[in-house]
Structure 1
Amino acid sequence: MQEIGAVAEVFRTARGFGSSPLYSRLLEVVAGDGSLLELAARTRPGQQPTFALFGAVHHLLLTGTPDPLAEYYPSVVGADARPVDGDTGPAFTRFCAAHSSRIASLLGTRLVQTNHVQRSLVLPLGLALLRRTTPAPVCVVEVGCSAGLNLRADRYAYTVGGRLVGDRGSAVHIEVNVPDPGPLPDLDTLPDIADVVGIDLAPPDLTDEDDRAWLRALVWPENSHQAAQLQAAMAEAATDPPRVVAGDAIEIGPAVASTLPPGLPRLVVHTATRIHVSAEERPAFDAAVAVFGADGPLLHLALEDDHLVAPSGRPGVGLTATDATGSRTIAVADGHLAWLEPLPAMNDGA
């Protein structure tokens, strides 16, 4: 169980919920309600209680729990969903009180394992950066990969800055607004992938209906396009699931690294993963990532650095690149990668 004061602070200061008017309102509701904070504190240590509580409630509504609260969820009732109003908070509070034991059970057993497929652009971007320096095949590793959907990023189509790249015939099509794509590497000239592996504490099983339902519940109620992307990506990955190893990267990272072909460059990515690692364990997490460079050149891309401002003035998340030359922020992006603004450092190092 998490400390209630810390949980309250998380709800009070949460950022990045701008695409969900419903969740933006509910952040305020939970932050000011002791019983809701006590419930949210049941979230497993290291997990973000905002995403966990909202995901648990969403899961119950999506799987058929009848309640007037569902009227506010476009994911449940469609375009006729009620806009946020004065009754939204009381409806949420009543629902949580009525179903507190079921919500607590989800909080105690589930992890925040959002597979925002939009973020998969990070992988081909890293591959293209490596291609600038070496023609060698690349070993791809994702830490906190959930079901591994983004590990199949080389099989998706992308429209980046108005240009179509990737697998044009893919059922998964990702569009990222890039005002100035000039600094980007050539996303159509990627190296071969020699090996691909993901690490996750408890990887969801795409053959399990409840696991798929939990992944769906982690997509915000208004984000129907992300939900459709998720369904298409789950169908794609189910035909040829990537290798995913269950465990804590801090503990199993060296063992996983030893399975990769020696000498080949490694691309290690994680997006909105380090945020779920407790502060005291983050140095060990960073060290575990660095281990992958022990037997081959390493490019480490992380979409994690919050509270940055893009050249256009938009607040966003920093995309950092770390290699033998050091670390640098190469872009600022929306947390879900709806948009990305490259920085001059995109052309440094790799």
Structure 2
Amino acid sequence: MLLADRFRDHAVAAEREGSALYVDWSLGLASDAEALRLVERAPEARRQPALVLAVCRWLGAPLEPWPVLRDWLLAHGDAFVAELGRRQTQVNDVRRLGPVSLALARLEGPIALLEIGASAGLCLLPDRFAFRASVRDPDGPGDERLRSLAWGDPDSPVAIDLHVDGPLPGRVELPPVVWRAGIDLDPVDVTDPAAVSWLETLLPPGPTERVELLRRAVAIARSAPPRIVRGDAVDALRDLAAGAPPEAQLVVVSTGTLVYLPGRRRQAFVDAVRALDARWVSYERRDLLHDVVAEVPDGLAPGADFAALALDGRAIGVGDAHGTRLRMLPV
């Protein structure tokens, strides 16, 4: 995909997210050959639109319309390219735990969680968050076609909301988590204010509650930071998995991470997971994994089929990029 097209797609995603500024910046970059050439000076893996715009803000770009950003970008080109070259996308979107938790609820406990691309490890804490779902099941009994459902820790300051279409059990219960660890190329220390500030900068500006949700999740993580090891998703997997307690079911989790692995490396990861005595929960782009086939139901809103929720490689739902909407699939 051409870089300009990636920024146009990002503008569509930013509009859904309610970030008018990122819509403007993304469309401006997409149509500006000189600005695109500047971005192309960075390594290919660093040209993700969300990362590009976050680096601009991190370096002090004014939150003004595109013409102002363009002038700033061209005036700070060398510093921008250098910073972009050393940064990585580190978004910890805890909202994806909504779908993931529904897959975890299908497992027997206790479980040991191992997350790939864990960043700050916030998605290793499903048992410390509250989940609230509005469920629509057209095939359910009359009084259950529309209902509310809650699970997780009801007293948690982090409440994750989810809209679900399709059948769910009358009660969702998460298995006990007795061990948790993650792998990341550049782990984020939740006790480091600068590192957390970078996580906040990766979120789009606008009238969203994501920054506040992130801060609350970070506060919980700081009370008992999960162990995150620096390493590659494939090379570090076996050794870290060996540290899980034998009495617990090992569960490998990946959410929006595998897109950053080259195709062959991605398959090597899938093979490595299947070589373990482990269950695998994934919430990844729907067309990313050849082995995960998710038929798209009719009537979905634009973007609502972006990701596939899968358990052991079998799709059980499709949802939006952030995990706020989920359509359950027939099993």
The TM-score normalised by the length of structure 1 is 0.79
> What amino acid is the match of 2:225?
P
CA change 1:318–1:330 in 2 (3 A) is farther
1:196 and 2:195 matched: no
Q: Secondary structure of 1:38's match? A: helix
- 1:335 matched to 2:304? The reply is no
Q: Does residue 54 in structure 1 map to residue 39 in structure 2? A: no
> Counterparts of 1:218-237 in structure 2 under 5 Å?
218-237=202-221
Task: Provide the C-alpha distance between the structure 1 equivalents of 2:175 and 2:202, rounded to a whole number of angstroms.
Answer: 32
SS in 2 for 1:331: strand
Is the 1:48–1:112 contact (alpha carbons within 8 Å) kept by the matching residues of 2? no
Question: Which consecutive unaligned segments of at least 5 residues does structure 2 have?
Answer: 135-147, 289-294
Q: Which residue of 2 aligns with 1:153?
A: 126
Q: How far off is 1:96 after superposition?
A: 1.1
**What is the CA distance between 1:200 and its match in structure 2?**
0.7
1:121 corresponds to: 98
Task: Identify which of 80, 86, 94 aligns with 2:71.
Answer: 94
Whether 2:314 is the aligned partner of 1:318: answer no
Determine the C-alpha separation between the residues in 2 that align with 1:184 and 1:202: 38
Give the C-alpha shift of residue 244 in structure 1.
Answer: 0.9
Contact 1:115 1:150 in 2 (8 A): yes
Q: May I ask how many residue pairs the two structures share in their alignment? A: 307
Runs of 4+ residues deviating >6 angstroms: none
After TM superposition, the structure 1 stretch with the greater mean CA deviation from structure 2, 27-36 or 213-222, is: 27-36
> Over residues 257-304 of structure 1, what are the superposed CA-to-partner deviations in whole Å (9 max), with x where a residue is unaligned?
22122364222211111112223422223223334xx2x342332332
SS in structure 1 at match of 2:91: coil
In the TM superposition, what is the alpha-carbon distance from 1:6 to its structure 2 partner? Answer: 4.3
CA deviation after TM superposition for structure 1 residue 195, in Å: 1.5
Contact 1:311 1:341 in 2 (8 A): no
Matches within 5 A, 1:192-341: 192-262=176-246, 264-291=248-275, 294=276, 296-305=277-286, 309=296, 311-314=298-301, 315-316=303-304, 317-323=306-312, 327-341=313-327
- 8 Å CA contact 1:125–1:185 kept in 2: the answer is no
Going from structure 1 to structure 2, the CA distance change for 1:270 and 1:152 (only over 3 Å counts) comes to same
Whole-Å separation in 1 of the counterparts to 2:153 and 2:66: 44
Moved more, 16-25 or 105-114: 16-25
* Corresponding residue number in structure 2 for 1:112: 89
- AA partner of residue 211 (structure 1): A
Percent identity, aligned pairs only, is 30
Where does structure 1 lack aligned partners over 5 or more consecutive residues?
72-87, 346-350
1:157–1:263 CA distance, 2 compared to 1 (3 A)? closer
Q: Check conservation: 2:132, 2:151, Cα contact below 8 A.
A: yes
1:185–1:95: structure 2 CA closer, same or farther, 3 Å change rule? farther
- Which whole-Å CA distance do the structure 2 matches of 1:166 and 1:259 have between them? 26
More helix by share: 1
Task: Please say if 1:11 is aligned against 2:7.
Answer: yes
1:139/1:196 contact within 8 Å kept: yes
